[in-house]
């Protein structure tokens, strides 16, 4: 219980320290900012140990037998080689694990993008032009794709494609802006709610 009270006051203090930036940059904000970076970096290390090295590597090495055990040395070595980026002299060795991860990412990306995005999205655009919404959707998708086609210059009458695309893109960006405003305000509401409810017990 007492720990909760101390913790709440600590959290409130740090919240106010960050909010103090609204007035101007000050030592309290800088303190909180540096504390945040330090603690976050520490979190990274704990995570790597608790959720990667220990369960995926060390525990497996202990529990497995034969080939299944010793083959785990391969990712372990690759992981350690990744850390050679810390040194200038041996940093070139880190190209090997980077190549491994990039290759897997690229291979997965091609099949995933085609199967998971391109084909379903194109299929969902092949709509009968029997309702006004379908017409607008199809025109919007086609003109937007063409807007980013830079190998051909749209002149004269074909310029209308670009003008239609801009309408859709601007509406889309406006919608995204509206949603972004909503998101940021929600974050502020969350912090103020904490201060008024958990800390000051006003609400």
Partner 1 sequence: MKFWDRLGAIDRRIIYTVIGLAVIIPLVTKLTFPIRVSDTVRSAYHSIERLPAGSIVMISIDYDAASGPELQPMLIAVLRHCFKKDIKVILTGQWALGLPLGEIALNQVAAEYNKKYGVDYINIGYRPGYTALIVGIGRELRDFFSTDYKRVPIDSFAFMRRVHNYNDINLLVGLEAGATGDAWVLYAGARFGLKMFFGATGVSAPDLYPYLQAKQIEGILAGLQGAAEYETLVNEKGTGTLGMPTQSVVHGLIIIFIILGNLSYFVLRKKQK
Partner 2 sequence: MRHQIPLIVVFITGVLLIVTFFIPHEPFGGLEQRFLIWYSIVAGFTMLLGLDSLTRYHLVKVRNQKSGWGYSIVLLLGLFLTLVLGFYSWAKYQSPFALGSPFMFLYTYVIIPLQATMFALLAFFIASAAYRAFRARTTEATLLLVAAVLIMLGRVPLGGWLWHRIVDLVDLIPGTHLAGLKNLEIFARINDWIMDIPQTAAKRGIFIGATLGGIVMSIRIILGIERSYISGS
Residue 81 · residue 93 · CB < 8 Å: yes
Residues 168-187 that bind partner 1 (CB under 8 A): 172, 175-176, 179-187
Q: What gap in Å lies between CA 170 and CA 103, rounded to an integer?
A: 37
* Concatenated DSSP letters of 91-132: GGGGHHHHHHHHHHHHHHHHHHHIIIIIHHHHHHH---TTSH
From 59, 70, 83, 160, residue interacting with partner 2 (rule: CB under 8 A): 83
Q: What gap in Å lies between CA 42 and CA 34, rounded to an integer?
A: 12
From 25, 34, 69, 197, residue interacting with partner 2 (rule: CB under 8 A): 34
From 86, 155, 157, 202, residue interacting with partner 2 (rule: CB under 8 A): 86
Which is nearer to partner 2, 75 or 197 (by Cβ)? 75
- Does 42 participate in binding partner 1 (rule CB under 8 A)? no
Nearest approach in angstroms of CB 2 to partner 1 is 20
Residue 94 · residue 85 · CB < 8 Å: yes
If you ran DSSP here, which 8-state letter would residue 72 be given? Answer: T
Q: CA Rg, the chain, in Å?
A: 27
Binding mask 61-100 for partner 1 (x = CB under 8 A): ----------------------------------------
Nearest approach in angstroms of CB 56 to partner 1 is 7
- Among partner 1, partner 2, none, residue 161 binds (CB under 5-8 Å by kind): none
From 23, 67, 89, 111, residue interacting with partner 2 (rule: CB under 8 A): 111
Buried b or exposed e, range 47-64, using 16+ CB within 10 angstroms: eeeeeeeeeeeeeeeeee
From 77, 120, 160, 167, residue interacting with partner 1 (rule: CB under 8 A): 120
Residues 121-150 that bind partner 2 (CB under 8 A): 121-122, 124-125, 133, 136-145, 147-148
Q: What gap in Å lies between CA 85 and CA 153, rounded to an integer?
A: 45
Residue 31 · residue 21 · CB < 8 Å: no
- Interface residues with partner 1 (CB under 8 A) are 22-23, 40, 43-44, 47-48, 51-52, 54-56, 59-60, 104-105, 108-109, 111-113, 115-117, 120-121, 123-124, 137, 172, 175-176, 179-193, 196, 202-203
């Amino acid at each position: 219980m007492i720990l909760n009270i101390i913790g709440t006051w600590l959290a409130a203090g740090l919240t106010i320290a960050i909010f103090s930036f609204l007035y101007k940059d000050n030592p309290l904000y800088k303190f909180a900012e540096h504390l945040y970076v330090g603690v976050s970096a520490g979190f990274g290390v704990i995570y790597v140990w608790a959720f990667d090295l220990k369960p995926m590597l060390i525990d497996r090495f202990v529990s497995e037998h034969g080939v299944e055990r010793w083959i785990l040395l391969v990712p372990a070595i690759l992981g350690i080689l990744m850390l050679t980026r810390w040194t200038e002299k041996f940093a070139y060795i880190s190209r090997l694990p980077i190549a491994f991860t990039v290759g897997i990412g690229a291979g997965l990306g091609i099949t995933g993008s085609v199967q998971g995005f391109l084909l379903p999205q194109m299929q969902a655009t092949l709509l009968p032009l029997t309702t006004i919404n379908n017409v607008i959707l199809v025109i919007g998708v086609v003109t937007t794709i063409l807007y980013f086609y830079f190998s051909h210059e749209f002149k004269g009458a074909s310029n209308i494609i670009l003008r239609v695309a801009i309408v859709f893109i601007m509406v889309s960006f406006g919608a995204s802006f509206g949603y972004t405003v909503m998101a940021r305000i929600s974050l502020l509401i969350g912090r103020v709610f904490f201060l008024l409810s958990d800390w000051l017990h006003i609400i």
